[in-house]
Structure 1
Amino acid sequence: MNYIQVTFSFNTIEEYQQDLLIAELGDIGFNTFEEVDGGFLAFIDLNTFSEDQLKNVLKQFESDFECSYVISEIEAKNWNEEWEKNFEPLIINDQCYVRATFHEAQPAYPYEIVIDPKMAFGTGHHQTTTMMIQYILETDVKDKEILDMGCGTAILAILAAKKGASGLIAIDNDEVCYESSVENAALNGVKNLEAFCGGKEVIPSKEFDIILANINRNILIDQIPVYATALKSGGQIFFSGFYESPDLDMIKATCLPFGIQYVNHKKIGEWVAASFIKD
């Protein structure tokens, strides 16, 4: 399978602006990114690529920064090999150790997660994933039914399983993420995780004690009514993938009519994760 490589170049761009651009590119099918001097490379399946979609994404940022890009077609790479060059193990709150299969185990940590992401998002290194992991570490998930939306590698669901969750549903609209979730669950000995490829339409008709949704503001706002139906009374929901202003207030306002109340939030850099509870 061949890929499209888009080389993005910037005169000046803030880190949070680049993160936001990458998140938007992920929504239209780009699934691997590599930093280079003056910008970054983004990769997408040849059959998925649409330059019109790319232009629409960039149009959203035209008042924020100047950007140029070059499109080229490349042969398939060994994406795991590319990823291994830069991936380092991650320790969160001195409790959770995230590593790849080629790193040594560290049994001293209470929770060790083995992740082979292929081209999928969610190694824990992004601020949003880190904050979601922190919330899970702080939350009693034992014997709870959990929904992980936009699951990426299923790292969040896997941590919840290791903390004693009784049932886990992991959903992502990217086929590679779906496959990665299934494989990573097996790598970690998690047998009670069921993965689905799709969006809100594939959420099973059942109620959950906890919902994890690390996506982006627009998708979260669109899906909150569905989450409200799927979340038990007294259930918790953790959101991430957005900024403090104006995103957090927009999400609070969307949740309020459904009886989903804001509890608190975390912030790393420009990124935010927030905790809510259903009345």
Structure 2
Amino acid sequence: MNYLEFNFICKPANDWQQDLFINELATIGFDTFESTDTGFKAYVPEVNFNPVELETLLLSLDPEFDVHYEMSSIEHQNWNELWESNFQPIVIQDQVYVRATFHEAASQFPYEIVIDPKMAFGTGHHQTTSLMMECLLETELKDMLVLDMGCGTGILSILASKLLAAEVVSIDNDPVCVESTRENMQLNKVENMYALEGSFQAIPDSDFDIILANINRNILLEQLEHYARAITQGGILLLSGFYDGEDLDMLKAAAEKLGFSFASYKEKENWVAAKFIFEKVND
């Protein structure tokens, strides 16, 4: 599969404006992003690219946020070289070491996760992924049934498994992500994970103890009611992929209508991960 690379040059290059723009690009098929000195690069499968959607999005931007782009094509076999030149290992709360297959192991950390991301989102570098990983480290997962919506590379699912979850179901509507998750399961020798392709329709008929969803605000708002149907009484819902302020307020209001109580949240560079407890008995 060939990808298109877009080099977006943003003036002024305000972080919050770029983050909002990236969030919108993700809704029209872009699935990997890389910061640059003048803005960022974004990647989309060539078969999924719709120029009308991109131009419509650009026209909706704040006139003071000037964006230009250069486009080029990247052959599938060149992706690994591109990734290796940019991906550095990261550490989460001195407990989790995330590396690629071409990095040396680091046995001094309690948990090590090896990720071969291909073109899937989720390496721990983005604020939302690292926030969700921090939340997982602070949550009791032993013997829990976990659902990971929008699993990307499967990084959150793999961490949940390493934290002794009984079983993890990972769902993504992108077949590249599902393939990436399954390969990363093997790299990490995880045997209690199941990767499924689809959206909320793919959620198994089970009562999950913990549901993870690192997607974006609009999709979360659309899917909250399905999470409420799939979670057990007293279950934990961890959400990320949105901003502090209006986004968080909207999700809190929607979740509370469905029987979730807001427990806490973490914030990093205006990105948020929020924790909810399900209190309403399922019908």
* Fold in common (TM above 0.5): yes
Q: For the residues of structure 1 that align with 2:89 and 2:34, how far apart are their CA atoms?
A: 18
Moved more, 249-258 or 37-46: 37-46
What SS does structure 1 have at the residue aligned with 2:47?
A: coil
* Counterpart for residue 91 of structure 1: 91
Give CA-to-partner distance per residue, 1:81-127, whole Å, 9 cap, x none: 21111211111111111111111111221111111101111000111
Identical counterparts, % of pairs: 52
Q: For the residues of structure 1 that align with 2:35 and 2:96, how far apart are their CA atoms?
A: 26
* Counterpart for residue 180 of structure 2: 180
* Counterpart for residue 7 of structure 1: 7
Q: Does 1:109 align with 2:124?
A: no
Question: Cα 1:47–1:160, aligned 2, differ >3 Å: closer, same or farther?
Answer: same
Give CA-to-partner distance per residue, 1:140-196, whole Å, 9 cap, x none: 100000000111111111001011101111111111111110000111111111011
Structure 2: state its 5+ residue gaps.
none
Question: Cα 1:77–1:26, aligned 2, differ >3 Å: closer, same or farther?
Answer: farther
* Counterpart for residue 38 of structure 2: 38
* Counterpart for residue 248 of structure 2: 248
What SS does structure 1 have at the residue aligned with 2:165?
A: coil
* Counterpart for residue 199 of structure 1: 199
Structure 1: state its 5+ residue gaps.
none
- CA shift for structure 1 position 197: 1.5
* Counterpart for residue 216 of structure 2: 216
What SS does structure 2 have at the residue aligned with 1:79?
A: helix
Q: Return the TM-score normalized by structure 2.
A: 0.94
- CA shift for structure 1 position 243: 0.8
Question: Cα 1:55–1:277, aligned 2, differ >3 Å: closer, same or farther?
Answer: same
What SS does structure 2 have at the residue aligned with 1:78?
A: helix
Question: Cα 1:72–1:93, aligned 2, differ >3 Å: closer, same or farther?
Answer: closer
Q: For the residues of structure 1 that align with 2:108 and 2:212, how far apart are their CA atoms?
A: 27
- CA shift for structure 1 position 75: 3.8
- CA shift for structure 1 position 77: 4.7
Q: For the residues of structure 2 that align with 1:2 and 1:151, how far apart are their CA atoms?
A: 22
Alignment length (residue pairs): 279
Cα RMSD of the aligned pairs, angstroms, is: 1.6
Q: For the residues of structure 2 that align with 1:77 and 1:12, how far apart are their CA atoms?
A: 34
Equivalences for residues 125-164 of structure 1 within 5 A: 125-164=125-164
Opposite residue 24 of structure 1, the aligned amino acid is E
Question: Cα 1:34–1:131, aligned 2, differ >3 Å: closer, same or farther?
Answer: closer
